[in-house]
Structure 1
Amino acid sequence: MCHFFFFTVSPIMESSTPTLYSSASPLIYWEEHEDELSIEEMPSELEATLRYLSIMIYSIAFLLGTIGNGLVIWIAGFRMKRTVNTVWFLNLAIADFIFTFFLPLSIAYTALGFNWPFGTLLCKLNSTVAFLNLFASVFLLTIISADRCVSVVRPVWSQNHRTPRLASIIALFIWLASLFLCSPYLAFRDTIRDDETNVTHCYNNYAFSDNFNDMEVVALRSMRHQIMISVRFLFGFLLPFGLILVFYSLMALKLRRSHLAWSRRPFKVMASVVVAFFLCWFPYHILSVLEVIMHQWENKTLNIAVLIGSPLATSLAFFNSCLNPFLYVFLGRDFKESLRRSILSAFESAFSEEPGKTNDSRLKSRSLTDQEFQFT
């Protein structure tokens, strides 16, 4: 029977064993087969480069994310009229802001050579917040895409039922579902002290045991690890991405068949946010799946690819949390002119409803015939 222990430089990757790092020794992974132990070393220069690159990207994401998402929260939540769009963008910004607010913990953890000095509670919260951001963001993007689709395909229904109150209720259920899906990390995330290196690791203790030799414990850890990866890949990537593709395909089909002169600004802003999210998180999900495969299939090339790719994929995923405010500004209507006036007006142009998509009573009172003539 082969026991495999993998050590990664990512603070949230799903390795079920502690991250091993020492400033005096190279980052390593090992395979233990019966009484044989083989060790592959990552070059110290590459190890240091990956660590410094991660710290730099985390720091940039923290600074830009807290400031940018803080501005979005302030503008969408307090300075603009409450609309369906502002509800969506406000909740997206809150998810990203909470995550980036906790990033200094990951920065410190990486800078200290993956030594966790903050205690078990913050170890649990740090990972839980990261995956809360993942689930909340992807669910919000899916609902926003559905909202866009309904506005195009069923404009009359949308005119009469698309309200900020309904959007707020849906957003609340999204947060509850996200909390449910990320709650296992509160249970599984744990700390362990390595007395030899005097380092405390923050890791996923799927078996609620620090025994890494008992075969039953190893099997339980592996099974729960695979379940967690599968659930996150299914609900955090595959299903939402598939639904979003369906929604945008329906919109494209409707627009092509109807020859509509639809406003491209809101579509362009939201499509860019969706594309940026999936491009940033796709490598992370793929490497998580490969990590599970790696535990079942001994392949040194795969092991090294995951070892090197994990910190890069995690950094890219983290960086996504600071991108949205810049997409809102740069893709908003009349960007240059808006910046001349104020940042506020730049965000307002990105969050504003499409022409003809207000809840004005005059629009609601229009006949079905007139509405269908406009959108078909």
Structure 2
Amino acid sequence: MSSLHGMENAMLRTLPPDLITNLSINWYDYDETDEEIEEDYSEIENFMHILSMVFYSVAFLLGVTGNGLVIWITSFKMKRTVNTVWFLNLAIADFIFTFFLPLSIAYTALGFHWPFGMLLCKLNSFVAFLNMFASVFLLMVISIDRCLSVASPVWSHNHRSSKLASLVALVVWCLALTLSSPYLAFRDTRSSHNTYKNSTVTHCYNNFAFSDDNNSEHIQYLIAVRHKAMIITRFVCGFFIPFIVIIVCYSIIALRLKKNRLAKKSKPFKIIVAVIVSFFFCWLPYHVFSFLETTTHSSPSSAMMRAIIIGIPLASSLAFINSCINPILYVFMGQDFKEKFKKSILSAFESAFSEESAQTSISKNKCKSISDAETNFN
């Protein structure tokens, strides 16, 4: 029992800050620490801290710059089309999330001590799941859009417009906001004395009971039920249903275009498929470990606890990395988009450093960029 208790204490410090669920505060008595177990897991803990911070830092640097460029290009350098609306909203979701990552980096560096207050604690987790829901819903909508374009080309041609796409994107954001809102309610902070570190630490955690008293059976039952409900809702709405819809849509597309070689050579089609595959590859491990996490409400084995201690930080880091992958895919899979990146960056530097007489030349380059972009995204 002491061994399991020691692993639980180690888990508290190892879990990632943004996607940490109910594995903090609810079980832990910080005045009871098995020093031997703590030492055994200190090496794993330190490794996970370093690895998490590396992943978070990479995601932040690439995500903010890459998605920022995509937002700029699709907003100001390209004509508004249905596809640019989709890519713009995907980039906005990822940009907002990666913009908050420095809080997670600091939280991890401080040994999971949260000095930023309750408001940012709530927002940090809320933004993480807002990104997840918005991204997967947008990918589902993109799949439906591509399916309609192939299955009903005449209807799609008559009704498909950037205005309708913008309206659909707005609905997606509203739905994502609704499903993410419980994290604003449940997320809380609590300060406790950590005997192992001989200091007072503040944790950002999910207070499913809305109470500091976690000892009664009723409260423990309430915590377990709400925790499982959150995980099931997150999996069903944020992964399973979109996955089924996307599989069905692309199965229809594959059947309709089986003999169409142009479909295989379509750069936008390849990019969209790559974005969808990367999303599900990055998020599937997190959902798997989230379900495993629910078993800890009963009497988990030491092997299960060890797997969760190691697996959740890795799975969460992989999910974080997904927020910076899309711009990389745009560059390496779409030669035209790659040229847009180069031309847009060059245009920015020319505009900043050029003399007044050079403005005419820059304007011409912008017009040409818009023309090229229409070809690439339509």
Q: Shorter-normalised TM-score: what interval?
A: 0.7 to 0.9
Whether 2:24 is the aligned partner of 1:18: answer yes
Counterpart in 2 of 1:279?
281
Partner of 1:202: helix, strand, or coil? strand
Partner of 1:114: helix, strand, or coil? coil
**Equivalent residues of 1:152, 1:251 under 8 A apart:** yes
The alpha-carbon deviation at position 11 of structure 1 amounts to 1.0
Q: In 2 relative to 1, CA 279–46 (structure 1 residues): closer, same or farther, beyond 3 Å?
A: same
Counterpart in 2 of 1:136?
134
Counterpart in 1 of 2:15?
9
Q: Which runs of 5+ in 1 are unaligned?
A: 21-28, 32-36, 358-376
From 103, 106, 121, the equivalent of 1:105 is: 103
1-structure distance, mates of 2:344, 2:227: 48
The alpha-carbon deviation at position 12 of structure 1 amounts to 3.0
**Equivalent residues of 2:19, 2:128 under 8 A apart:** no
The alpha-carbon deviation at position 30 of structure 1 amounts to 7.3
Whether 2:262 is the aligned partner of 1:261: answer yes
CA RMSD of aligned residues (A): 2.8
The alpha-carbon deviation at position 339 of structure 1 amounts to 6.7
Q: Which residues in structure 2 correspond to 1:1-376 (within 5 Å)?
A: 7=12, 8-18=14-24, 40-41=37-38, 42-196=40-194, 197-256=199-258, 259=260, 261-262=262-263, 263-333=265-335, 352=374
The alpha-carbon deviation at position 38 of structure 1 amounts to 12
Partner of 2:80: helix, strand, or coil? coil
**Equivalent residues of 1:30, 1:39 under 8 A apart:** no
Q: In 2 relative to 1, CA 349–64 (structure 1 residues): closer, same or farther, beyond 3 Å?
A: farther
1:247-293 CA-partner distances (Å, limit 9, x unpaired): 1100000012x546335211110000000111111111100011012
**Equivalent residues of 2:63, 2:94 under 8 A apart:** yes
Counterpart in 1 of 2:352?
none
1-structure distance, mates of 2:298, 2:373: 47
**Equivalent residues of 2:22, 2:227 under 8 A apart:** yes
Partner of 1:139: helix, strand, or coil? helix
Partner of 2:212: helix, strand, or coil? coil
Counterpart in 2 of 1:369?
none
Question: Is the deviation greater in 247-256 or in 44-53?
Answer: 44-53
**Equivalent residues of 2:64, 2:98 under 8 A apart:** yes
Q: Which runs of 5+ in 2 are unaligned?
A: 347-365
| TM score, norm. by length of structure 1 | 0.83
The alpha-carbon deviation at position 302 of structure 1 amounts to 1.3
- Which amino acid in structure 2 is aligned with residue 155 of structure 1? P
Aligned length: 340
2-structure distance, mates of 1:166, 1:78: 20
**Equivalent residues of 1:89, 1:351 under 8 A apart:** no
Larger relative contact order (Cα-Cα within 8 Å, sequence gap ≥ 6):
2
2-structure distance, mates of 1:183, 1:82: 31
**Equivalent residues of 1:85, 1:353 under 8 A apart:** no
1-structure distance, mates of 2:229, 2:338: 48
Q: In 2 relative to 1, CA 16–146 (structure 1 residues): closer, same or farther, beyond 3 Å?
A: same
2-structure distance, mates of 1:111, 1:337: 38
- Which amino acid in structure 1 is aligned with residue 262 of structure 2? A
- Which segments of structure 1 move beyond 4 Å, counting only runs of 4 or more? 3-6, 37-42, 334-345, 347-355
Partner of 1:275: helix, strand, or coil? helix
Q: Greater helix percent: which structure?
A: 2
**Equivalent residues of 1:134, 1:236 under 8 A apart:** yes
**Equivalent residues of 1:269, 1:328 under 8 A apart:** yes
**Equivalent residues of 2:86, 2:165 under 8 A apart:** yes
**Equivalent residues of 1:189, 1:203 under 8 A apart:** yes
The alpha-carbon deviation at position 47 of structure 1 amounts to 1.3
2-structure distance, mates of 1:50, 1:348: 45
Partner of 1:67: helix, strand, or coil? helix
- Which amino acid in structure 2 is aligned with residue 10 of structure 1? P
2-structure distance, mates of 1:335, 1:70: 15
